[in-house]
Amino acid sequence: MQYTVPHYYKQFHCAAGACPDTCCAGWQIQIDPVSLQKYKKTKGALGNRLKNEIDWKESCFRQYDGRCAFLNDEDLCDLYLEGGGERAFCRTCRTYPRHIEEFEGLREISLSLSCPAAADLILNCSEPVRFLHAENPDRDETYEEFDFLLFTKLMDARSLILKILQDRTWPVTLRAAAALALSHDLQERIDKNALYDVDTLLDRYSSDNVMNWFEARLQELNRSDSWEKRRSKTRLGFFSLFDQLEVLRDDWIPYLHNARKTLENAPAPGKEAERCFHDLFSDVVEEQLLVYFVFTYFCGAVYNGNAYGKMKFSIAGMILIREMVRAEWLAGKSCDMSCMIRTAWRYAREVEHSDYNKTTMEHLLSSEEIFGIEDFFSIL
């Protein structure tokens, strides 16, 4: 079994009592089958409490006011305190904020942006992310009907996308545009079952003049009289995605309402205002968010064949986080790295911790009439 992690992975340390939030509230905590069996056999007072505080039909801990039944008034875990530490945890609690994507012969492990301490590591990383590899030859798994050819092409495409995104000789706007276009062209080959042509595609996007082409194209589009109107329309379209998603936290709706209202009422930004905001939400911050989303989700297209959708989801995540930070900045609130970190983990908790939200958002982004490639270009 192969394992891949970002280079900052082992730097993670739980903030515990100093954390500005808790990972035990706001979503259902699913319990794996092995832990369920262990909890069924637990004796004594803790065993009785487990029997009462687990929804055995749904295989999850019960919640009260959005909080796990074992989360006490001090925001500490009674199961941890009464059950002998981490050995009492189910797999979800034991691994979070580690996020694991499983493929045949490979586990890719990232730190979830929804954890404040992990978001701090991700957004405060100034150097390009490196990915570390390890192998456990004693463990191996095979998957029925796993499309290894498609997976190989997705891995090759992702490697080039990450290389493009981390090429700091170019503005991140051009890098993101090229990465999106590459995934668009890759999707055409997936849909036509023409994977044999992917290598030629990747060679084309590896050429020395590809970024020059995108620079000229974006400059041409930017000169259009309707470009600013398209940008505003696309931003509204991105925020409208939230209207179709389930809400996990009570404070999310008023937060979104205020952000949307601020952005809608704000005058068109001048060059000086754009420069000031860019100094805050820099190319490096955008790069780290894009790399995080692409590494975490892109190769999951092996299971649904939607590489373009995964790339759209990744770029949309970065844009929405950026625009929510922009709203706070426009509202005159104290806006610094801590604000960006807080916005990032709030977004991730609402979107990434709901399979329904992730699937729905990817589906909605498939509308080329609203979210076409040039619509994305307009807001990059």
Predicted pLDDT at 210: 95
CA of residue 199 relative to chain centroid, distance: 27
More confident residue, 310 or 19: 310
Task: For residue range 226-279, list pLDDT tens digits in order.
Answer: 898 999 999 999 999 999 999 998 899 999 999 999 999 988 778 888 889 999
* Residue length of the chain: 380
Q: What percent of the chain has pLDDT over 70?
A: 99
Provide CB contacts within 8 A for 366, sequence distance 6+: 306, 309, 312
- pLDDT category of residue 144 using cuts at 50, 70 and 90: confident
Distance CA 51, CA 61 (A): 10
CB atoms within 10 A of CB 53: 17
Predicted pLDDT at 43: 92
Mean pLDDT value across residues 111-139 = 93
More confident residue, 6 or 19: 6
Q: Where are the domains of the chain?
A: 2-12+97-135, 24-95, 148-379
Max Cα distance, the chain (Å): 72
Q: SS3 helix, strand, coil % of the chain, rounded to 5?
A: 60, 10, 30
Strands (E), the chain: 2-6, 54-55, 60-61, 63-64, 67-68, 98-103, 106-111, 131-135
Predicted pLDDT at 214: 96
Task: For residue range 324-371, list pLDDT tens digits in order.
Answer: 999 999 998 778 999 999 999 999 999 998 999 999 999 999 999 999
Structure tokens at 45: 């007072």
Predicted pLDDT at 109: 95
- pLDDT category of residue 188 using cuts at 50, 70 and 90: very high
DSSP state of 30: B
Predicted pLDDT at 225: 87
- How far are the Cα atoms of 5, 338, 373 from residue 184, in angstroms, in the given order? 26, 34, 8
Distance CA 190, CA 207 (A): 22
| Residue given tokens 């691994």 in the structure block | 95
Backbone angles phi, psi at 147, to 5 degrees: -85, 90
Sheet hosting strand 106-111, strand order edge to edge: 98-103, 106-111, 2-6, 131-135
Structure tokens at 330: 């426009």
Contact status, residue 146 vs residue 103, Cβ threshold 8 Å: yes
Peptide bond into 6 cis (omega under 30): no
Contact status, residue 277 vs residue 269, Cβ threshold 8 Å: yes
Judge whether residue 10 has pLDDT over 80. Answer: yes
Judge whether residue 141 has pLDDT over 80. Answer: no
Structure tokens at 223: 């000169």
Report field, pTM of the whole predicted structure over 0.75: yes
Pairing of strands 106-111, 2-6: parallel
Mean pLDDT of all residues in the chain? 93
Dihedral sign computed on CA atoms, order 164, 166, 171, 177: positive
Mean pLDDT value across residues 57-76 = 89
Provide CB contacts within 8 A for 229, sequence distance 6+: none
Mean pLDDT value across residues 195-207 = 97
Judge whether residue 107 has pLDDT over 90. Answer: yes
Predicted pLDDT at 120: 97
Task: For residue range 42-63, list pLDDT tens digits in order.
Answer: 999 999 999 999 999 989 999 9
